[in-house]
Structure 1
Amino acid sequence: MSALNPTTCRRLKKLQQIPSVWEGDRRSLSAFSDTMESESEGNSECILWVDGSEGIVRAMDVVSPEMGPEAVVRALLRAMEHPQNPAQPARPSKIVVRDREIQFYLRGVLQDLDITIDYVPNLPLIDEVFRGFAEVASNRRPELPPQYADLLLEKSHELWQDAPWELLADHNILSIEINRWDVETFYASVMGMLGMEYGVLLYRSLDSLKRFRASVLAEESFEAMEKAFLGQDCLFLTFGRDDDEEDEGDEEEDFDLADLPVSDIVPNFGTVHPLEGMRPFLYDEEAIALYIALEALHRFFKATSRQLAADDFPAISKRYRIPIPLEVESKSTLSVKVSTLPDVATELLEMAQFAGEDDFEDDFDDDFDDDLDEAEMAVPLRDDLVPKDAFLSLGMIPWESVEMLRTGVDCYQSKEVQEAGEGMPVILIQTTRPKAKVLIEQIQTAGGLKGICFNPGEDPFVGERYDLGILQTENSNLYLFGEFPEADPTHTSARKKWDQRCKKIKGHCGLIIAKGLTGAARGNPQPSDMLAFFEARSLSAKELGLGMLQLMPQFE
């Protein structure tokens, strides 16, 4: 058993000893876990020290069940020296507890402080405090109105099974015309294509959606992002992980929700408004409007999944008659129209691209030498196209496979390639399907792929040289796709064959984008895994005119 050190005892003895009886206890919060804001709170314990004479709480702590009796002593010392207002520092004459173990422990620790420690079966003041906690918990509004809870949970499960994020990026906006419950049209943005946050945001106006996108692109500070988030006007359904299934340390892991079993996925509902802020629960009219919207989206995704799987974002419009649950008239229905908004999608994507270009222009500021020539300033090398965790490979595919790709992939860009030699030299980029679709869409939006180049680069600080793989799109943007050490014999051999093959077919080559990064096909994608095939020019470093590129130090 730990004991108070002599210095602490002398300090506590200097406190005025008042003729009061303090109650102390430690109780589980599990009784309130269903209505607590987080499971972690529900699994915790609350330590209370109450002045029975004054009827005030002097100290309160929430701790994990694993914390030993030392936590009770720490709370008691704070109750003596640094009590909550309006109490003043003091030392009690007597302490009562209802736990024999705590009584014996306190007797041993506090034996030099002249405090009587007794056991009593009941603690009326602490009982009253916990009754108050229970009343507050029972009066807390549920996340969903009870009459709509099962309906919305069913719809959320259907949405998770539909997995619209495998078809739509967050800029592929859908309109849902409801014209009831103070909602004319929802504008739905699906999250999850990048494997990060999953869900759907239902904006009450298109202006709110565009303002939020513009704010996020324009601001970088945490405060600005928080302001932009709270400035939205939308209902939301997002998905998270069941806390009960998390192991210790999972919060630090980079995992994808889509890799978890359905039983581990938990839906979260709420609304955001510029004046109300974020509210993690829905009122009746919000719940029924969200239910109707989710049912309409479910029907729309089932009916149009093949069309939405295409590389473009087609113009589609569908109308559904949806029964209204819990209506007085049991056969009451509502006509709901769901439409894709290709023009809005293009506008949002261009908005993001322009912001990205501005970011790269901002990078070339006074921190760099003014002697950089205009060509280098005008064509910065970017690294925001190819996913960081993608699998890269230099190789060749025989002409028979080239013909199969030309007719078998969803996205094909042709060039007048003269067949010669054993096949076409290609770069393979393999990533997850959602990230592959984003990559393909970005290349298409940039006008297509113009060329592939290898340019020399060096790290002057460690004296290493690299072969930098670069993609050039038709809008003249340059994107880094790989850094290959010149000293690597495998790459040196592959690069030599690349140059020979490109020369044989008059300076042509290809780029293959494939899915299947995390599956059995990693590093060896099958024809069914290949989503896009871009035929392009093989550009020399001299044609790009970038010269030797150097790794620049990162300045804080």
Structure 2
Amino acid sequence: MTSFNRSTNRRLNKLPQIPSVWEGDRRPLSSSPIPHSDSSANGDCILWVDGSQGVVRGMDVVPPETGPEAIVRTLMRAMEHPHSPAKPARPQKIVVKDREIQFYLRGVLQDLDIVIDYAPDLPLIDELFRGFAEIVDSQIPDLPPQYAQALQEKAFALWQAAPWEFLEEQQIISIEINKWDVGKLYASVMGMLGMEYGILFYRSEESLQRFRAAVLQHEDSQGRLEEAFLKQDCLFLTFESLDADDEDEDQMDDLAEMDLSEIAPTFGNIHPLEGLRSVLYDEEALLVYVALESLCRFIRDHRRQLCDDIFPELSHRYRISLPEAESATKSVSVTVASMPQLAAELEEMAGFGADESEIETSDSPIFRSLRDDLIPEDSFLSLGVVSWEMLEYLRKGVTYHPAGEIKQVGDGLPVILIQTSRPKAKTVIESIEAAGGLKAICFNPGADPFDGDRYDLGLLQTQNGELFLFGEFLDDDPIHVEARKKWNQRCKNTKGYCGLIIAKGLTGAARGNPQLRDMVALFEARSLSPKDLGLGTLQLMPQL
């Protein structure tokens, strides 16, 4: 049996011993488990009460599988750090109604001069637990118990179908149900940007359009965005990490990189008069079940067409069997259809179809002779080196494009590392491959004639001769100057060979420090000097 160490016994014995009797017990909070509820509602509650004064000194809720040590930990807090208004103290006597707890405490507390007794009833604690149980048992579960398992299964089926890999948020799919006072639902898929994954099922086309318009109008005002969010009229399914509560939001891994066992679906409803609630009632649960099942079937039947660059016009009718429950309705006929016309309207609203020359980006100048549409703007960028040992691992474990025989001289291969989200990394890789691969990595001088700043421009040259801007560095930045010196020396060691690494995980714990598992592609290339390029100093010009 585990016992206190001597220093802990000495510390506890220094507490004043008061002439009072404490009651202690550990019991389940709820008489029956509540599916898909907060885990604390299904836990065991440990309670220590000063029966003489009628005050709760300590309380904890622990998972049912937690060992008997938990009751001692709560007792220690009840003695040393009790709930107000109680003061730190030791009792003269402890009473419990569980023989196993009694014998366990006798062994652990034998050096603290505390009597441990048994009583068949603990009136004060019995009354407190009755109150707790009534509160917990009256809680509404997040999902109706009779539909919970079926909804969970459909959610994971959608996750595995991964519609966000080929559908953008504005590419709306209508689901005509004509049941439960709903004519159509309008499904908007979230997740292509590698941020939040899920589906919004709008109850009307107007609600969808109003929300999109509000977002575009108030995108710089967080308060207005929150107001617009709460004015939506939709049901939703989102996915989150099971460890989301324990992690900093900025350090969250991309869910798409996690195992299915690490992900949990969350269902809910948003309405202008109700706000947001993560609870579905019976009819809403059936509505979402039918929507998910029909959407999964539609994706299965039309995946190839939906992956095309042009959002196609498609329609399919399904009969969906409802989960077994106390319902007279056994199945529902549903029509699922893509809405390319609505998608075009939403794209026009957002300005997606505008010519780049018409978009004002006066605060984001470009170099006219270069393309800047390859590397995502929010990417993490670094100049560094990959050891020869790690290089061998990379060549075997990622998308790899060699450039020739590289002599292993120096500390490793000089590389440019670009870290972005998983979907964007995939797009970058496909774009380079479509251009024939990577030919060279270059640095070329640039100048801003308006303010006199001079730049060191990082360029990627593809095999088809195109030049892409990947970075703009002030040429007097001491950090960049030092990094460029090392780059030049390492390229000299390798006889002009270098590499480009594309990594995922920008939104995860590895942000800014990608590990080997985050690296998805290696393009080996040649290093070119400004003289090799022959471009001279490029002039920074504002976008008109």
Look up the match of 1:182. Answer: 181
Look up the match of 1:308. Answer: 306
Q: Are 1:318 and 2:300 an aligned pair? A: no
Using a 3 Å threshold, how does the CA distance of structure 1 residues 132 and 205 change in structure 2: closer, same or farther? same
Write out aligned runs for 1:206-285 (5 A): 206-213=205-212, 218=218, 226-241=226-241, 254-285=252-283
Q: Deviation string for 1:488-528 (max 9, x for gaps)?
A: 2389789x999xxxxxxxxxxxxxx9999979972159xxx
Q: Deviation string for 1:302-344 (max 9, x for gaps)?
A: 23212221223x24131414245266365x5424242233224
What is the Cα deviation at residue 63 of structure 1? 6.0
Write out aligned runs for 1:90-489 (5 A): 94-98=93-97, 99-100=101-102, 101-103=104-106, 108-109=111-112, 117-122=115-120, 123-213=122-212, 218=218, 226-241=226-241, 254-312=252-310, 314-323=311-320, 325=322, 328=328, 330=330, 333-340=332-339, 341-347=342-348, 349-350=350-351, 385-386=376-377, 388=379, 434-435=423-424, 456=445, 466-469=456-459, 480-481=470-471, 485-487=483-485, 488-489=487-488
| TM-score, structure 1 normalization | 0.59
Residues 35 and 138 of structure 1 are in contact (CA less than 8 Å); yes or no, is this contact kept in structure 2? no
Amino acid at match of 1:320: R
What is the Cα deviation at residue 117 of structure 1? 3.6
Q: Deviation string for 1:40-71 (max 9, x for gaps)?
A: x3686543233436766454344685768354
Look up the match of 2:387. Answer: none
Amino acid at match of 2:196: E
What is the Cα deviation at residue 145 of structure 1? 2.3
Amino acid at match of 1:307: Q
Distance 1:391 1:353 in 2: 32
Residues 36 and 142 of structure 2 are in contact (CA less than 8 Å); yes or no, is this contact kept in structure 1? no
Q: Deviation string for 1:17-49 (max 9, x for gaps)?
A: 7x864312355669776457444x368654323
Distance 2:43 2:250 in 1: 21
What is the Cα deviation at residue 180 of structure 1? 2.8
Residues 455 and 472 of structure 2 are in contact (CA less than 8 Å); yes or no, is this contact kept in structure 1? no
Distance 2:232 2:29 in 1: 34
Distance 1:181 1:63 in 2: 40
Look up the match of 1:23. Answer: 23
Residues 240 and 265 of structure 1 are in contact (CA less than 8 Å); yes or no, is this contact kept in structure 2? yes
Question: Which structure 1 residue ranges, 5 or more long, are not aligned?
Answer: 365-373, 394-426, 443-451, 459-463, 472-477, 499-512, 526-537, 548-556
Residues 174 and 339 of structure 1 are in contact (CA less than 8 Å); yes or no, is this contact kept in structure 2? yes
Distance 1:375 1:521 in 2: 28
Residues 194 and 423 of structure 2 are in contact (CA less than 8 Å); yes or no, is this contact kept in structure 1? yes
| SS of residue paired to 2:159 | helix
Distance 1:81 1:432 in 2: 48
What is the Cα deviation at residue 164 of structure 1? 0.5
Using a 3 Å threshold, how does the CA distance of structure 1 residues 31 and 224 change in structure 2: closer, same or farther? farther
Residues 49 and 75 of structure 1 are in contact (CA less than 8 Å); yes or no, is this contact kept in structure 2? yes
Residues 430 and 523 of structure 1 are in contact (CA less than 8 Å); yes or no, is this contact kept in structure 2? no
Amino acid at match of 2:125: I
Distance 1:287 1:333 in 2: 14
Amino acid at match of 1:23: E
What is the Cα deviation at residue 286 of structure 1? 0.8
| SS of residue paired to 2:521 | coil
What is the Cα deviation at residue 167 of structure 1? 0.7
What is the Cα deviation at residue 382 of structure 1? 10
Look up the match of 1:532. Answer: none
| TM-score, structure 2 normalization | 0.60
Distance 2:168 2:175 in 1: 17
Residues 93 and 117 of structure 2 are in contact (CA less than 8 Å); yes or no, is this contact kept in structure 1? no
Distance 1:322 1:136 in 2: 41
Amino acid at match of 2:424: K
Look up the match of 1:545. Answer: 540
Using a 3 Å threshold, how does the CA distance of structure 1 residues 347 and 3 change in structure 2: closer, same or farther? farther
Amino acid at match of 2:423: P
Distance 1:236 1:163 in 2: 16
- Say which structure, 1 or 2, has more relative contact order (CA 8 Å, 6+ apart): 2
Look up the match of 1:73. Answer: 76
Using a 3 Å threshold, how does the CA distance of structure 1 residues 89 and 77 change in structure 2: closer, same or farther? closer
Distance 2:256 2:361 in 1: 33
Distance 2:539 2:460 in 1: 10
Distance 2:197 2:366 in 1: 41
Residues 194 and 422 of structure 2 are in contact (CA less than 8 Å); yes or no, is this contact kept in structure 1? no
What is the Cα deviation at residue 346 of structure 1? 0.8
What is the Cα deviation at residue 301 of structure 1? 1.2
Look up the match of 2:47. Answer: 48
Question: Which structure 2 residue ranges, 5 or more long, are not aligned?
Answer: 1-5, 385-415, 432-440, 448-453, 462-467, 474-479, 506-515, 525-532
Look up the match of 2:450. Answer: none
What is the Cα deviation at residue 280 of structure 1? 2.1
Distance 1:106 1:35 in 2: 38
Residues 171 and 349 of structure 1 are in contact (CA less than 8 Å); yes or no, is this contact kept in structure 2? no
Q: Deviation string for 1:95-151 (max 9, x for gaps)?
A: 423533435655744x5xxxx643114434324433443444344333322343343
